[in-house]
Chains A and B, each alone.
Chain A
Amino acid sequence: MSGTFVGMPAFPTAARAALGDTQLRRNLAHATQTIRDKRALVVAEVEDWEDLRLAGAGVKEAALRDLATHLETLEASLTRAGATVHWARDAAEACAIVASITHAHGADEVAKVKSMATAEIGLNEALEAEGIAAWETDLAELIVQLGDDLPSHILVPAIHRNRAEIREIFQRRMGDVGKAAPADLSDEPAVLAGAAREHLREKFLRAKVAVSGANFAVADTGTLVVVESEGNGRMCLTLPEVLVSVVGIEKVVATWADLDPMLRLLPRSSTGERMNPYTSTWSGVSPGDGPQEVHVVLLDNGRTRALADDVGRQALRCIRCSACLNVCPVYERVGGHAYGSVYPGPIGAILNPLLNGVSDEQTASLPYASSLCGACFEVCPVRIDIPSVLVDQRAAVVDSHRNDRVPSAEALAMKATAWAFSDSRRLAWAERASGIAGRVITRFSRTTLPGGRAASGRLPGPAAGWTGARDLPAPPAESFREWWDRTDGGQR
């Protein structure tokens, strides 16, 4: 029904392909510029934004540091409010729980509210294998689903599509799965939104089972919170008889009052609005109002792994606002698909390795998908120091290769450097060799750096990977020691 990230190449390969797609780069540059401007305006309106960030980070950090207690409190409050609580160690367990609830009600379809947790566990594909159709109802998710595409942004999964492409997807595919798009569909955003309204309405009205995530789960009251724009969330949370919410264990906040900084931080950081059009909160079952059977699946799927990482733990504070994606120069150029995960951009570059470890090449490439410029940390509403976590994850990647039988070129170079630097005679010899190399490069090189210094282009052999994207300045012909000897420390 939709694509899969499984088997994606490592970031550098995927990024190179994405960089060649000029349409993608234009769409992304336009969209991220729009959202950056909007965010900047509404953030500037809040005089004490930095203090609000500190409060938001504090609320989430406090919840994480006593997570077991809060999870038990949440479970008790939810149960008291009439909800059924399930626990899932991994994606397969969570998907199986949702499928069995759906089967128990004899349903062969579910209506879905956009949720990162259900995207992460591949719920749609798992349900499809069980004969259950999962209808995405968020406009961008619908565009991705109908286009057999992959999400490329946390907030706007179809950010890589422009209006003309969306019109084409709607016209080609809507009729296959429900109400067809009108024949005279234009590419006006309002008209496209109207077509989505028509297409999805029959699905909302007949859905028996809905699946959601939650932006926050309040431990002391058993309240779940869904923040949205279109009203598809309200439809799914209100009309069906049965509601299943898949909630990552890191979504917990301790108290109802803790929602205050979060609900002020999230919409301004995310869509650049003072408040998003709709926020729904519910605590279990409300007699005579909304679903009368409410399930909550508390999901681990790597979160306890991340929680054990002293530097990386802060990534679990993330409220999925996507501000870090929108300001990231790397994301803006390569787009979300190159990250090979439902979590792209700066947060994806740390969250994927933290949740899954760095044993596969694709995930291990992610901590390097950054120039460490720090823009992500500056905008993050919960002050996740993404650059520090990136550096720490790079160390984790290097550590994971310590016992490799064939050492990497980088490891060999580092070893050789250590050997040369630890003895002054060896160092003097190495510098002389470098000076000769420098004179050779200067004579033959066709690359000149700003300032006129010669540089090597792409070097052959093991250094090719490093020099493929960088110019290596030619070493100076005379080393510092040679200069010192010749001039007696600058006296002559």
Chain B
Amino acid sequence: MTSARDDILAAVRSALADVSPAVSVPAAPRAPDRGDLVALFVERVEDYRAVVTRCTSAELGGVVAEVLGARTSVVPPGLELEVPNAVVDDAFTADQLDAIDAVVTRARVGIAETGTIVLDHQPDQGRRAISLVPDLHVCIVDVSQVVADVPDAIALLDPSRPLTWISGPSATSDIELNRVEGVHGPRTLHVVLVL
């Protein structure tokens, strides 16, 4: 008996026996110059009902502390920011993370056109679970990380790393196709943009 693999590949080859593999793939068009990318990024992130606070790097610690208030939080090992009352992730279980209110991470890239933040889960962002289970995600983005559009982000990102693209808080359109924020992911996304 031949294997499923061999059968499928043989069926694919025979289906395409008379088909030339050469097709011209037109290049994807680029969006026109939108001017101030950071302003666009902020506008589009806020459009998803995420909160954006701008600050200088000197103000960052104070701003994050203020956003967190009395909440408990978890931070990745490489955050490089003093966060009061935070615990550093130490392979916590999902249940342990579920008992923590908030998470503070950095990011890899921000996409202005779509208001998207991409995490590549390096040590300053931590493994995927920590930015998922707590209900508030405070995400620090540096203005230098903001790019114009999706192709710019794709070119920067390393596909061998796990990536999480985040556009606003978790949401659903499953009830009468109206967008409602707050399902399984963090119900609040607070972006701190460092100028």
Task: Assess the B161–A230 pair: CB atoms within 8 A.
Answer: no
Among residues of B, the one whose C-beta sits closest to the C-beta of A54 is: B26
Instruction: Of the listed stretches B51-59, B67-75, B138-146, B150-158, name the one at the interface; the rest are far from the partner chain.
Output: B150-158
Q: A231-B170, A286-B161 are in contact. Are A68 and B9 (CB under 8 A)?
A: yes
Residue of B25, B95, B116, B154 touching A59 (CB-CB under 8 A): B25
Within 8 A of B (CB), among A64-93: 65-69, 71-72, 75, 81, 86-89, 93
Interface residues of B in 6-59 (CB under 8 A from A): 7-9, 11-16, 19-29, 31-32, 44, 47-48
Minimum CB–CB distance from A249 to chain B (whole Å) comes to 7
Chain B stretch 79-95: residues in CB contact (< 8 A) with chain A: 91, 94-95
Q: Is B182 interfacial (CB 8 A cutoff)?
A: yes
Interface pair B4/A87, CB less than 8 Å apart:
yes
Given contacts A65-B16, A87-B4, A257-B155, contact A283 B174 (CB under 8 A): no
Q: Which residues of A contact B8 (CB under 8 A)?
A: 71, 87, 89, 249, 298, 300, 304
Asked whether B12 lies within 8 Å of A307 as measured between CB atoms, the reply is yes
A184 within 8 A of B: no
The B interface is mostly helix, strand or loop, or mixed, namely loop
Q: A54-B26, A260-B151 are in contact. Are A35 and B164 (CB under 8 A)?
A: no
**Chain A nearest CB, measured from B189 CB (Å):** 9
Q: What's the minimum C-beta distance from A370 to chain B, rounded to whole angstroms?
A: 23
B23 / chain A contacts, CB cutoff of 8 Å: 58, 61-62, 65
Say whether A289 faces chain B, with CB atoms less than 8 Å apart. yes
C-alpha spacing A166/B175, complex, angstroms: 8
Given A62-B23, A283-B159, A229-B29 contact (CB < 8 Å): no
For B48, B129, B149, B165, the residue with the greatest tally of chain A CB atoms inside 10 Å of its CB is: B165
Q: Which of A30, A88, A197, A259 contacts B184 (CB 8 A)?
A: A197
Interface residues as binary, A43-69 with B (CB distance below 8 Å gives 1, 0 otherwise): 000111001101110110110011111
Q: Which residues of A contact B48 (CB under 8 A)?
A: 277
Given contacts A34-B178, A197-B182, contact A156 B173 (CB under 8 A): yes
Measured between beta carbons, the chain A residues less than 8 angstroms from B164 are 234, 278-280
Closest residue of chain B to A285 (Cβ to Cβ) is B162
* A residues 164-199 in Cβ contact with B at 8 Å: 166, 189-190, 192-194, 196-197
Task: Write out the residue numbers on chain A whose beta carbons fall within 8 Å of the beta carbon of B29.
Answer: 47-48, 51-52, 55
- Chain B residues with CB under 8 A of A140: 174
Which residue of the partner chain, among A38, A86, A137, A238, contacts B128 with CB atoms under 8 Å?
A: A238
Q: Which has the most chain B C-beta neighbours within 10 Å: A81, A139, A143, A200?
A: A139
Give the chain B neighbours of A51 by CB distance below 8 A. 26, 28-29
Question: Separation in Å of the A70 CB from the closest CB of chain B?
Answer: 10
Q: A34-B177, A231-B183, A277-B168 are in contact. Are A221 and B94 (CB under 8 A)?
A: no
A81 touches B173 (CB 8 A): no
CB-contact partner of B180 in A93, A190, A200, under 8 A: A190
With a cutoff of 8 Å between Cβ atoms, the chain B residues found around residue A103 in the complex are none
The answer to whether A278 touches B173 (Cβ under 8 A) is no
Q: Does A367 contact B (CB under 8 A)?
A: no
Q: Does B132 sit at the interface, judged by CB under 8 A?
A: yes
Q: Is the CB of B114 within 8 A of A193?
A: no
Q: How far is the CB of A405 from chain B (nearest CB, A)?
A: 32
A159 close to chain B: CB less than 8 A: yes
Across the interface, B21 reaches (CB within 8 A) one of A65, A275, A286, A289, namely: A65
Chain B residues with CB below 8 A from A190, complex form:
180-182
> In the bound complex, do residue B177 and residue A31 qualify as a contact, i.e. CB atoms below 8 Å apart?
yes
Interface check B66, CB cutoff 8 A: no
Give the distance to chain A from B19, nearest Cβ to Cβ, in Å: 6
Give which listed residue, B5, B13, B21, B174, contacts A87 with CB less than 8 A.
B5
**Does B105 lie at the interface of the complex (its beta carbon under 8 Å from any beta carbon of A)?**
no
A414 adjacent to chain B (CB < 8 Å)? no
A139 close to B159 (CB less than 8 A): no
Q: Please indicate which of the listed interface residues A27, A89, A162, A230 has the most CB atoms of chain B within 10 Å of its own CB.
A: A230
Answer yes or no: A274 CB below 8 A from chain B CBs.
Answer: yes
CB contact under 8 A between A274 and B115, given known A52-B28, A256-B154: yes
Whole-angstrom CA separation of A308 from B155 in the bound complex: 35
Distance in angstroms from B11 CB to nearest chain A CB is: 4
**CB-based contact A290/B162 at 8 Å:** yes
- 28 interchain pairs (CB within 8 A)? A34-B176, A34-B177, A46-B31, A48-B31, A52-B28, A66-B16, A68-B12, A69-B21, A87-B8, A139-B174, A139-B183, A156-B174, A159-B177, A189-B180, A190-B182, A201-B184, A204-B94, A229-B171, A229-B173, A230-B170, A231-B170, A239-B129, A277-B169, A277-B185, A283-B162, A304-B11, A305-B15, A307-B16
Please give me the 3 A-B residue pairs with the lowest Cβ-Cβ distance, nearest first. Answer: A231-B185, A58-B25, A48-B29
